């Protein structure tokens, strides 16, 4: 029984890595995840990853922000303490537009980014779950769960054949822990 937990194919070129994904998929090897130093366009479709739904979250937060400040301003100036400013109406909608816009943007930005951090488990001090330290530098890493995906030699050969500069058999899932 091998102690390998994950097989990593390290590529030095994004296009060769995409080629590697094709080859693995053709041979029915499931891919655990791919770690890259930059966004790779088109990889989501290849790996069958659904579109991000953050846009919906952003829209909802935007609506919330705009509604909140508009309601606040209306309550404060028209209901709670209407002040006579040159006889002009207390409920002066055009004057509320700038602040309504600002808080729409504010809530959208903070709400969406918070959702992003929450969904992706990003927060200050989170231990980085890094499989290969060069994946944030110059290596495009395909990770394959070794469990059940045998024989490992065949996977290694497939990766090599696709142009991987290095294939690693890691005994630990993450190398970033002390």
Partner 1 sequence: MASHSESIIREPLVTGKDITYAKITNDILRPVEKMPGRAWWIGFTVASLGACLWVFAVSWTFWYGIGEWGLNKTIGWAWDITGFVWWVGIGHAGTLISAILLLFRQNWRNSINRSAEAMTIFAVICAATYVVSHMGRPWLAYWPLPLPNQFGSLWVNFNSPLVWDVFAISTYFSVSLVFWYTGLLPDLASIRDRATGIRRKIYSVCSFGWTGSVKTWQRFETVCLILAGISTPLVLSVHTIVSMDFATSLEPGWHTTIFPPYFVAGAIFSGFAMVQTLLLVARKVLGLENYITMFHVEAMNKIILLTGSIVGVAYLTEFFIAYYSGSEYEQYVFLNRFIGPYWWAGCMMYGCNVLMTQLMWFKKIRTNVAASWALSIVVNIGMWFERFVIIVVSLHRDFLPSSWAMFYPTWVDMSVFIGSIGLFFTMFLLFIRVFPSIAIAEVKLILKSSSEQAKKKLMEHGGLDPEQVEHYKESLTVFDSVEIADYKTTKQ
Residues at the site binding partner 1, with contacts judged by CB under 8 A: 12, 14-15, 18, 33-44, 47, 49, 52, 54-55, 58, 62, 69, 72-73, 76-77, 80-81, 83, 85, 88, 92, 95-96, 98-99, 101-103, 105-106, 108-110, 112-113, 116-117, 119-131, 133-138, 176
CA–CA dist 142, 145 (Å, integer): 10
Taking the complex as a whole, the smallest distance from the CB of residue 162 to partner 1 amounts, in Å, to: 15
Nearer to partner 1, 85 or 154 (CB): 85
State how far Cα 8 lies from the chain centre.
21
Q: How far apart are the first and last CA of the chain?
A: 26
CA–CA dist 67, 70 (Å, integer): 5
Taking the complex as a whole, the smallest distance from the CB of residue 3 to partner 1 amounts, in Å, to: 23
For residue 110, the SS3 value is: helix
CA–CA dist 40, 14 (Å, integer): 7
SS3 of the chain: helix, strand, coil, percent, to 5: 50, 10, 40
Taking the complex as a whole, the smallest distance from the CB of residue 168 to partner 1 amounts, in Å, to: 15
Nearer to partner 1, 3 or 84 (CB): 84
Nearer to partner 1, 124 or 151 (CB): 124
Nearer to partner 1, 4 or 116 (CB): 116
């Amino acid at each position: 029984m091998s102690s390998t937990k994950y097989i990593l194919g390290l590529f030095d070129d994004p296009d060769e890595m995409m080629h590697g994904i094709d080859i693995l998929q053709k041979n029915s090897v499931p891919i655990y995840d791919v770690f890259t130093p930059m966004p790779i366009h088109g990889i989501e479709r290849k790996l069958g990853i659904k579109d991000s739904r953050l846009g919906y979250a952003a829209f909802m937060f935007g609506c919330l922000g705009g509604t909140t400040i508009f309601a606040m301003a209306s309550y404060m100036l028209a209901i709670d303490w209407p002040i006579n400013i040159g006889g002009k109406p207390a409920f002066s909608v055009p004057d509320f537009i700038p602040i309504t816009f600002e808080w729409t943007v504010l809530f959208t930005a903070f709400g969406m980014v918070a959702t992003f951090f929450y969904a992706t488990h990003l927060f200050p001090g989170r231990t980085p779950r890094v499989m290969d330290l060069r994946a944030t530098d110059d290596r495009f890493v395909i990770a394959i769960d070794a469990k059940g995906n045998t024989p490992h030699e065949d996977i290694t050969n497939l990766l090599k054949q696709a142009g991987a500069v290095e294939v690693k058999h890691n005994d630990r899932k993450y190398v970033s822990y002390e």
